[in-house]
Amino acid sequence: MDNPEWARILQHMEHRSDILIVGGGLNGPALALALAQTGHSVTVVDALAEKVRKNAAFDGRAYALALASQRLLDAIGVWEKVEEHAQPMLEIKVTDGHAGAGPSPFFMHFDHAEIEEGPMGYMVEDRHLRRAFLEAMAEHAGITEISGKTVVSQDITALGATLTLDDGSTLSGNLLVGCDGRRSGTAARAGIKRTGWDYGQTALVCAIEHELPHHGIAHQFFMPPGPLAILPLTGNRSSIVWSERSETAKQINALPEADYLQILRPRFGDFLGDIHLQGDRFTYPLNLTIANSFIADRLALVGDAAHGMHPIAGQGLNAGLRDVGALAEVLTLAGRRGEDIGSTLVLERYQEWRRFDTASLAMATDVFNKLFSNDNPLLRMGRDIGMGIVGSLPGLRRGFVREAAGLTGDLPKLLQGRPI
Ligand SMILES: Cc1cc2nc3c(=O)[nH]c(=O)nc-3n(C[C@H](O)[C@H](O)[C@H](O)COP(=O)(O)OP(=O)(O)OC[C@H]3O[C@@H](n4cnc5c(N)ncnc54)[C@H](O)[C@@H]3O)c2cc1C
């Protein structure tokens, strides 16, 4: 809400809702929609101005959404707004590579035909996803959205949570949810510590246009400095997430476009024909950061605020949307039973459901990255043999396809495509 009149009104009155969400990135809006659908009043605050959040131009960022995440987006009314821009992921090919040396003969190939449910997931551009969330929230009477205001303090008592924004206005609610990303101020203000480390790697992110079609195939090449993913977008376009040691990444990103492509090309060969850059280039320093607790008094953490992980398996947002499904289900069922949704007893159900799962996933991406970002010949031989074994056993392969589609584990109802 950029309207100055509203801003003045809010400054002089305390706005109250059932749930306050700090962070209107991706997980915040998903949670707001899931909760508003079950009758909760929700306020979402984000520091970025609305026009920045609408991000109309293509800027090269995109997400791999697992099938289970797509089901959640469908259930909260967002999928119908992005569907026409989504590229189904039909196959995934994983290869042990070496820049310029070509792929190793050992690789894993996962095909959606091994499961009955459909594609393993979809690639969706950041701009379409963010715009769809904003539109869906604007259509919901139960959601109040505040853009361009930063939360500067929070006060939690036995009766509720109060937020103070940078314009001095206050908001109150029964429960505060931090969806404010890896450096979550909500967690820090509640005294929640984090565990994690830097990888010394930086992801170079861009989109390319290519001469030949990708046929809906996603590729993951494991290189000694870090993994390189080529993820299919609509048309003859792909999203590149390419991890390098941070110093090298900085130098590569500073290069003119032609030299940047000159370095990228030999890393994955010429199977897509000639390539060109489309949109901007981004860099993301990579780290692992897990909140030591996902809850505190009248407070819960969701998405990257709870767990920021390596993008090696494209699981960050998918894990966040599982949090969204779990928290919305826990709170809704508690509310129907007449329980206080901010009580520790209720919030512990969310923490029990999600903390072990996400900590294991974050550690798995960590081990995977360490195992593959390595040129030790013994490790290389071991992982090549391992890939050969997984690739040749249909049962194991099918398990991996189900995992990539996000269909394993204790799935919240929304991720099963069922209402709460
Ligand atoms: C290179 C890369 C590639 C990735 N690819 C994939 C992928 O393919 N698939 C996938 O599932 N995941 C992927 N991820 C992970 C995914 O990007 C994140 O998990 C996701 O963006 C997290 O969303 P979020 O809403 O939790 O946090 P964020 O997107 O970080 O949003 C946090 C929001 O909080 C707001 N905020 C913060 N502090 C305040 C405050 N004090 N007051 C008001 N507002 C505040 C910020 O303005 C921001 O909008 C990738 C990540 C990286 C780095």
For residue 238 and ligand 1, the question of a CB distance below 6 A is answered with no
Phi/psi at 419 (5° precision) = -70, 160
CA distance linking residue 226 with residue 219, whole number of Å: 14
Percentage of the chain modeled with pLDDT above 70: 88
In 38-192, which residue ranges form alpha helices assigned H by DSSP? 50-54, 67-75, 79-82, 126-138, 185-189
The mean pLDDT of 146-160, rounded to a whole number, is 96
In 6-96, DSSP assigns E strands to: 15-22, 42-46, 62-66, 87-89, 91-96
Max Cα-Cα span within the chain = 68
Nearest atom (ligand 1) to Cα of 46: 44
CA distance linking residue 16 with residue 206, whole number of Å: 41
Nearest atom (ligand 1) to Cα of 318: 11
How many angstroms separate the alpha carbon of residue 158 from the centre of ligand 1?
A: 30
How many angstroms separate the alpha carbon of residue 181 from the centre of ligand 1?
A: 5
| The predicted structure's pLDDT at residue 391 | 64
146, 317, 354, best to mutate for ligand 1 pocket (most atoms within 8 Å of CB): 317
Using the predicted structure, report yes or no on whether residue 378 has a pLDDT greater than 70: no
Percentage of the chain modeled with pLDDT above 90: 66
CA distance linking residue 370 with residue 352, whole number of Å: 28
Cα–Cα distance list, 140 to 144, 308, 339 (Å): 9, 29, 25
Nearest atom (ligand 1) to Cα of 319: 11
| The predicted structure's pLDDT at residue 52 | 82
Question: pLDDT tens for residues 75-105?
Answer: 999 999 999 999 999 999 888 766 555 555 5
How many angstroms separate the alpha carbon of residue 127 from the centre of ligand 1?
A: 13
Lookup: tokens for 302 = 């969701």
Using the predicted structure, report yes or no on whether residue 228 has a pLDDT greater than 60: yes
Contacting residues for 398 by C-beta, under 8 A, at least 6 apart: 114, 115
CA distance linking residue 24 with residue 303, whole number of Å: 11
Lookup: tokens for 349 = 């159900």
Yes or no: say if 302 and 320 are a contact pair by the CB < 8 Å rule: yes
Task: Give me the numbers of helices (H) and strands (E) for the chain, helices first please.
Answer: 13, 19
Question: pLDDT tens for residues 114-140?
Answer: 788 889 899 999 999 999 999 999 999
How many angstroms separate the alpha carbon of residue 25 from the centre of ligand 1?
A: 6
The mean pLDDT of 47-60, rounded to a whole number, is 80
63, 124, 146, best to mutate for ligand 1 pocket (most atoms within 8 Å of CB): 63
The mean pLDDT of 271-296, rounded to a whole number, is 93
Question: What pTM did the predictor assign?
Answer: 0.91
Nearest atom (ligand 1) to Cα of 182: 30
Using the predicted structure, report yes or no on whether residue 8 has a pLDDT greater than 60: no
CA distance linking residue 18 with residue 83, whole number of Å: 31
Using the predicted structure, report yes or no on whether residue 397 has a pLDDT greater than 60: yes
How many angstroms separate the alpha carbon of residue 34 from the centre of ligand 1?
A: 18
Yes or no: say if 391 and 108 are a contact pair by the CB < 8 Å rule: yes
CA distance linking residue 344 with residue 314, whole number of Å: 32
Using the predicted structure, report yes or no on whether residue 194 has a pLDDT greater than 60: yes
Chain mean pLDDT for the chain: 89
Q: What residue segments make up the domains of the chain, in order of their start?
A: 4-196+288-416
Using the predicted structure, report yes or no on whether residue 392 has a pLDDT greater than 70: no
Question: How sure is the predictor about 326, in pLDDT bands with cuts at 50, 70 and 90?
Answer: very high
CA distance linking residue 44 with residue 177, whole number of Å: 9
Using the predicted structure, report yes or no on whether residue 1 has a pLDDT greater than 60: no
The mean pLDDT of 390-405, rounded to a whole number, is 74
**Of the candidate ranges 102-111, 171-180, 264-273, 320-329, the one whose mean pLDDT is the lowest:** 102-111
- Count how many Cα atoms sit within 13 Å of the Cα of residue 156 in the half-sphere of its side chain: 20
Using the predicted structure, report yes or no on whether residue 17 has a pLDDT greater than 90: yes
- Homologous superfamily (CATH) for 4-196+288-416: FAD/NAD(P)-binding domain (3.50.50.60)
> In the block, which residue shows the tokens 């594609």?
119
Nearest atom (ligand 1) to Cα of 303: 26
Q: What is the CA radius of gyration of the chain?
A: 22
| The predicted structure's pLDDT at residue 5 | 61
